[in-house]
Copies of this chain bind each other. A is one copy, B any other.
Amino acid sequence: MDTQNLQIFVEVMKRGSFAAVARELDVVPSTVSRAITSLEEELGVRLLQRTTRKVKPTEAGQVYYQRIEPLIEELNQARSITRDLGDEVTGTLRLTTSVTFGNSVIVPLLPEFMAKYPKLDVYCDLTDAVVDIVDDGFDLAVRLGHLNDSGLIATRLTDMRYVITASPSYLAQYGRPEQPEDIQHHQCLVFPHTGLGTDWLFRDNNGEIKSITPNSRLQLTNALALKECARAGMGLVMCSEWTVTRELYEGSLVRVFQDYDTAMASFDSAAWLVYPSRQYLPLKVRVFIDFMKEKFVNCTLSECLIRGQKTMQAYSQADVETPALAEDH
């Protein structure tokens, strides 16, 4: 008796369709058909009457389902509870994050995390592509910005604040923008978000929000590249505060529009940990989430960034390329 067949049976009873269950479980319908047939042969009972387009449970199917379904739930729960008892966090945690945020925030925290769980491997995919966690076999993703209602579970790590900056040389030459509308008459460096447009949002002290399309000749899909262009005097750039913490400190970039809250696409931006809506979370995922939340408690992203750099220095032995903020302030 294979519990996979039992789980398929339970799903078919719930959905009344082989094809629907096949799509849900990402198998072909013949797999579902054979699972049910196998179960029926084992039981010597027809569980489901089916025509070519309909599935209807038999009385025996109903009886079996009533008895099996809670058992499957309990089996899954027993498995989850026992996993949590594990005296070892093992396996490989597969996570994906954006390149910049990954390099700057996530990767520097990995040495401490992996020291804490010495038998856990980590596979971290740094990509700015949109990754489908379930399809591509990831345990979780770090996502920035505003989340779509994608059916995934998200844990908020920290708020993200966007700031608009420019180099002093740019401001000396072109003047300082004062009103949000001024960005239509400045050179702006834009990060294009697929499907979201490129409007910059301004919210004043009264809560009034303006959404303005910046004048732009240059769009780059890499935040660090945008920052470097801004430092070179090519225009205004909006990016996450943590990205330019050092430059603001050094003065190579200067904040503008300080009287406004600014954002792209949404003021409700944050760094999120996103994972599939599975009911029983693997322990390795659980401990990673707990670790990250602990790191971000009562801590701005920039503070965490700097702390992460220190940690990286303390742990680092391999020739891991580190972001610019490596020195101790």
CA distance A213 to B75 in the complex (A): 63
Contact A63 B45 (CB under 8 A): no
**Which residues from chain B contact A317 at a C-beta distance below 8 Å?**
none
Question: Chain A 6-46, CB within 8 Å of chain B: the 1/0 string?
Answer: 00000000000000000000000000000000000011111
- Chain B residues whose CB sits within 8 angstroms of the CB of A46 once the complex forms: 86-88
- Does A225 count as interface, using CB distance less than 8 angstroms? no
A3 to B282, CA, bound (A): 20
Give the interface size class of chain A: 35 or more
Known A283-B44, A284-B44: A87·B58 in contact at CB below 8 Å: yes
- Which residues of chain B come closer than 8 Å to A121, judged between CB atoms? none
Q: How many copies does the complex hold?
A: 2
Q: How far is the CB of A269 from chain B (nearest CB, A)?
A: 34
A209 an interface residue at 8 Å Cβ cutoff? no
Measured CB to CB, the closest approach of chain B to A203, in angstroms, equals 46
Cβ B81 vs Cβ A67 within 8 A: yes
Determine how close the nearest CB of chain B comes to the CB of A48; give it in whole angstroms. 13
- Cβ-defined contact, A83 with B2, below 8 A: no
Whether A82 contacts B4 by the Cβ 8 Å rule is no
A63 and B87 form a contact (CB under 8 A) = no
- CB atoms of B44 and A63 under 8 A apart: no
Nearest 5 A/B pairs, CB to CB:
A67-B78, A45-B86, A60-B85, A64-B82, A1-B3
The 26 listed contacts between A and B (C-beta, < 8 Å) are: A1-B3, A2-B3, A3-B3, A42-B79, A43-B82, A44-B88, A44-B89, A44-B90, A44-B282, A44-B283, A45-B83, A45-B85, A45-B88, A46-B86, A46-B88, A58-B87, A59-B85, A59-B87, A60-B86, A63-B82, A64-B82, A64-B85, A67-B77, A67-B81, A68-B78, A71-B74
